[in-house]
């Protein structure tokens, strides 16, 4: 059974940085799509960034140029480096995985979710 465990959330002032980590276990296929989502209070969950087994990264426009998604296959871990954080980035962040397919996870086509980690950005 696939499990995803996030870490790295916290509180930071606007303009600061945080790095989220997601450890993936119980999965051995070489085709996958991994993504980060976020959900702010009173808003729908949205896809933020994704990376696939071809190492192709995609981003939602609001984080383009500020956030970077990356993958360390040796550690079964993928990351979200968040720079130049804004108060509107405040949300619960979730990692997610689509298994045996290398597309679509940024649009919610996922098979497993992490438990979430809270990011709070103050002005």
**What is the per-residue pLDDT for 116?**
96
Does the pLDDT of residue 110 top 80, yes or no?
A: yes
If phi > 0 it is left, if psi is from -120 to 50 it is alpha, else beta; for residue 15 that is: left
Mind giving me the DSSP string for 43-80?
S--EEEEEEETT--EEE-GGGTTTEEEEEEGGGTEEEE
**What is the per-residue pLDDT for 95?**
97
In this structure, how many other beta carbons lie within 10 angstroms of the beta carbon of residue 58?
18
pLDDT tens per residue across span 10-23: 999 999 999 999 99
Residue 91 token pair: 């949300």
Total residues belonging to the chain: 123
Residue 40 token pair: 């702010």
């Amino acid at each position: 059974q696939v499990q995803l465990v996030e870490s790295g959330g916290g509180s930071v002032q606007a303009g600061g940085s945080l790095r989220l980590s997601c450890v993936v276990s119980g999965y051995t296929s070489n085709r996958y799509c991994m993504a980060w989502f976020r959900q702010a209070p009173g808003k729908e969950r949205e896809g933020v960034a994704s990376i696939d087994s071809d190492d192709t990264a995609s981003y939602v426009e609001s984080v383009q140029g500020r956030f970077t998604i990356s993958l360390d296959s040796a550690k079964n871990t993928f990351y979200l480096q968040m720079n130049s954080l804004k108060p509107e980035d405040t949300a619960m962040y979730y990692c997610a995985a689509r298994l045996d397919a290398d597309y679509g996870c940024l649009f919610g086509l996922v098979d497993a979710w992490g438990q979430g980690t809270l990011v709070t950005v103050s002005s």
